[in-house]
Amino acid sequence: MPATPAWPPKSLPRLFVREELADGARVGLDAGQANYLGNVMRLREGSELLVFDGKSGEWLARIVEAGKKHMVLEVERRTREAEAVPDVWLAFAPVKRTQTDWLVEKATELGAAKLLPVITQRTIAERVKLERLEAIAIEAAEQCGRTVLPEIAEPVALARLLEGRDGRTLYFADESGGEPAASAFRPGSAMILTGPEGGFTDEERASIRAAKDAVPVSLGPRILRAETAALAALSAYMAVAGDWR
């Protein structure tokens, strides 16, 4: 009998690094990453971990130098190719900081390719801090096994968002009614749009509905909070037209 139970399986720590990875590459880690691996994960020289750079997939690496404020890894072999997430963008009106953080973390786990904060007439949000949102997306990607990070766009005004969609279908979460989420989504390039806590103004709703390839979508009979609506719409898309099928 093994002394320790074999379940749950122990997975290797995963770390995002900014350097490009390749067979045999040596990667220096900064103080924050060295502290995480050494003091939080208790890794030592010789320990293995998984690393990814957002482009070349996932790699097995080994710690070859372990200092308090600096570590060096050596890349041994590729363990996975970069995955292709469905081509779905999530455009959301930012809410309060905690809820926006939560939205970005969960949307990364759910597999959004790009996140776009949208400024609408009723958007009440503290300034969106892109660096903070990027850090949250990196942590979520490390945890959920993504090898490609979602792109996080600068906040954009609603009118500009409606113009610059590169031909993708616009799925507009409309609490006043629309096609049921279970049948609305189709495979193909998509952008999901959800509104702020106070909803869209009548004028905004009219301009969204009039936009090319816009599909109003209903997320059911209850009014969802803005961040719940964004994640519910993304989940429904993944189930019906994305990579949960």
| Footprint of ligand SAM (CB under 6 A) | 173-175, 194-195, 197-200, 218-220, 222-226, 229
Cβ closest to ligand SAM, residue 23 vs residue 203: 203
What's the closest the beta carbon of residue 97 comes to ligand SAM, in angstroms? 17
What's the closest the beta carbon of residue 240 comes to ligand SAM, in angstroms? 15
- Among all chains, which residue has been given the structure tokens 């660096």? 131
Q: Which one, of 101, 128, 97, 119, lies nearest residue 200 by Cα?
A: 119
Cβ closest to ligand SAM, residue 50 vs residue 173: 173
Cβ closest to ligand SAM, residue 50 vs residue 217: 217
Tokens of 76: 């041994």
What's the closest the beta carbon of residue 102 comes to ligand SAM, in angstroms? 15
What's the closest the beta carbon of residue 123 comes to ligand SAM, in angstroms? 11
- Rounded Cα distance between 36 and 59, Å, is 19
CA distances from 25 to 51, 53, 65, 72 (A): 12, 12, 14, 10
Cβ closest to ligand SAM, residue 105 vs residue 175: 175
Angle at 94 between CA 91 and CA 236, to 5 degrees: 45
Cβ closest to ligand SAM, residue 8 vs residue 177: 177
Say if strands 169-173 and 190-194 run parallel, antiparallel, or are unpaired.
parallel
What's the closest the beta carbon of residue 6 comes to ligand SAM, in angstroms? 44
Cβ closest to ligand SAM, residue 16 vs residue 172: 172
Contact 13, 49 (CB under 8 A): yes
AA identity, residue 22: A
Contact 169, 217 (CB under 8 A): no
What's the closest the beta carbon of residue 170 comes to ligand SAM, in angstroms? 12
Cβ closest to ligand SAM, residue 43 vs residue 236: 236
Residues shown for the chain: 245
AA identity, residue 139: E
User: What are 48's strand-pairing partners?
Assistant: 62
What's the closest the beta carbon of residue 230 comes to ligand SAM, in angstroms? 7
For 77, counting Cβ atoms within 10 Å of its Cβ (0-12 exposed, 13-18 middle, 19+ buried), the class is: exposed
